[in-house]
Amino acid sequence: MAHLYACQLLSTYQIARITGDNRQRVNWLLRKAGVPVNPRGTGRPRAGRDDQARHIDDLMTDMYLRLRLSTTQIAELVDIPASAVRYRLLARGVPMRTRGGNSREDRIVIPPDELADLYLQAGRSADEVGQMLGVSRRVVLRSAHDAGLPVRVGGAPPQHGPSEIELIQSLYADTMVSEVLTRHEVPEVPEAGPIWQRFPVPHKLTAELAAELYSDCGLGLHHIELLTGQPAGTVSSLLRASGVPLRSAGGRSPFMRRWREGNELRIVRGCSSAAARPMAGTRRVELGSSPPS
């Protein structure tokens, strides 16, 4: 056992398989023979181990970042535990994607060019685009908002004002939202793109910040996601845990109603001001005065 461990550089696990003993007995016999045994988990120096480890780490990094495989999928391919894959990637400084059902990075995203062709150029509805691409209406609208595309507002067509909204810019332009973000020192990220690219590290979302954006500003869960980088599911869980009652599904959020009413009001005021101004080349006549000759 001493020869296998010290000269052939085998691990205690390998020696136990060769001798038929358990690992604890191998450790005991090695120490009894005066052979220093490394603590469990430190590994053993082996010829060519560093080069081989670097090659495996390079391979796992490529599979994780470029091929977008999960740590579990990588573990099955390289035959090491998923926890070891995650540890070795972290040791290399690879940013880990969100785990669980609220994953930001592994969500379905429609390419902006394809979405613009079907939704904007062809004028198809979100439901029609979703049926053509095999995704839900929610994925279509979320991808459009993430990409900064103007999204048609559902419901009855407005009498005045625009019927489209570029959500990211509209959120930052809202006075109530801007005040809350400034008070909580949430930086603005106006660039469009998938949420994991806009926020490589999500902004810390406190219960107070989530409640103010949701209840006071009237934002929806996806609106808060666009401002903080935290998945909508995480926002929902935090609000529920804080005792904030969630609005029922469907309908328009208070922010969207405020946005539409504000745009309609600005359009009406603009029309009224234009109507009050005299047309070019005309003279204003006061009531009771004689008309110009």
Residues 63-84, mean pLDDT to the nearest whole number: 87
Residue 164: predicted pLDDT: 53
Quote the pLDDT of residue 260: 75
Q: What is the mean pLDDT of residues 180-187?
A: 93
Confidence of residue 178 (pLDDT cuts 50, 70, 90): very high
The span from the CA of 229 to the CA of 196, in Å, is: 7
What pLDDT is stored for residue 179 in this prediction? 94
Burial of 3 (0-12, 13-18, 19+ CB in 10 A): exposed
15 versus 249: the higher-pLDDT residue is 15
The stretch 246-264 carries a mean pLDDT of 78
pLDDT at 185: 93
Other C-beta atoms lying within 10 Å of the C-beta of residue 283: 7
Q: What is the pLDDT of residues 146-173, one digit of tens each?
A: 887 777 765 544 444 444 568 888 899 9
Query: Does residue 184 carry a pLDDT above 90?
Result: yes
Q: How far apart are CA 183 and CA 208, in angstroms?
A: 11
Long-range CB pairs of 271-275, under 8 A, 24+ apart, other chains included: 271/160
Cα dihedral: 52, 57, 58, 60 (round 10): 130
Q: Find the mean pLDDT for residues 238-243.
A: 92
Proportion of the chain above pLDDT 90, given as a percent = 17
Tokens of 206: 């406190």
Q: Which pLDDT band, with edges at 50, 70 and 90, does 292 fall under?
A: very low
Taking residues 220-246, what's their average pLDDT?
90
- Does pTM top 0.75 for this prediction? no
User: Does residue 224 have a pLDDT over 90?
Assistant: yes
pLDDT for the residue numbered 280: 43
pLDDT at res. 270: 55
Structure confidence at residue 183 as a pLDDT band (50, 70, 90) = very high
Predicted confidence (pLDDT) per residue in 8-33, tens digit: 778 888 888 888 888 889 988 988 88
Q: Report the candidate in 104, 202, 193 with the shortest Cα–Cα distance to residue 144.
A: 193
pLDDT over threshold 60, residue 50: yes
- DSSP-based helix, strand, coil % in the chain, nearest 5: 55, 0, 45
What is the reported pLDDT for 210?
93
Distance CA 173, CA 144 (A): 19
Q: Provide the mean pLDDT of the chain.
A: 78
User: Which two structure tokens, joined as six digits, stand for 21?
Assistant: 């003993």
pLDDT > 90? residue 239: yes
Going by the DSSP 8-state scheme, the letter that residue 245 receives in this structure is: P
